[in-house]
Amino acid sequence: MPRPSPGPTPADDAPPRPASRGAIRDSLAVGVATAAYGISFGALSVAAGLDVWQTCFLSLVMFTGGSQFALVGVLASGGVAAGGSAIATAALLGIRNVVYGIRMKPLVDTGGPVRRAAAAWITIDESTAVALAQSDDRAARTGFWVTGAVIFAGWNLTTLAGALIGDALGDTRAWGLDAAAAAAFLGLLWPRLKRFQAGAVAVGAALVATIATPVVMPGLPVLVAALVAILVGWFDLFTLRRDA
């Protein structure tokens, strides 16, 4: 007489080790490293003419590092007269977050209006990247929320610290902090230059900006250089070259 098969054991019923643990680990590592940039932003923003509270408010409501650095960088080079160019440059860089939102909506759009607003607030480069690097949806959601929360809290705290440091130092240009925006922005950009197309666009945009800088008002060279990426994407130049 055949023996009945044994029922499930507690080990069989136990869920596998959740990938969410790895997502949390990735989130903390990325979040802490990214938040450190806030010190440079705070110091540079004060150097550009904003006060401590204006700087903190900017981090609170804008909360996208590339756009923030672009805004204060243009203000630092052109003053109040470059305000329009600074806003346009920051807005142009912020458009990428709309694309991230489209990609992340099916994954994180699982709650009411408050949850949706919070998700939109923390949809940035790092939260999107950590989420998409995970192996399942649960881990991806964990990575998205933890990364966004850690960076949001850390970025605002380090912004305050950097602004206070910059305010105490006085003329931050004497300490070389006027170059912080360019250095930090290059640090954010560098990991994205692994592909040939991205590298070619970066080189072309840099050449265009260099040529335009002595000719047009501060802030406009960045907008003019953005035309390089638009032209490459619109005409799909590199794909056409590969197919030829």
Per-residue pLDDT reduced to its tens digit, 114-130: 888 899 889 988 888 88
User: How many C-beta neighbours within 10 Å does residue 164 have?
Assistant: 17
What whole-number percentage of the chain has pLDDT above 70? 71
Model confidence band, residue 242 (pLDDT cutoffs 50, 70, 90): very low
The answer to whether 89 and 70 are in contact (CB under 8 A) is yes
Cα–Cα nearest to 223, from 237, 208, 233, 236: 208
- Taken in order 52, 53, 54, 57, the sign of the CA dihedral is positive
Would you say the pTM of this structure is higher than 0.75? no
- How confident is the model at residue 2, as a pLDDT? 47
Residue 17 has pLDDT above 70, yes or no: no
Q: If you average pLDDT over every residue of the chain, what do you get?
A: 76
- How confident is the model at residue 171, as a pLDDT? 61
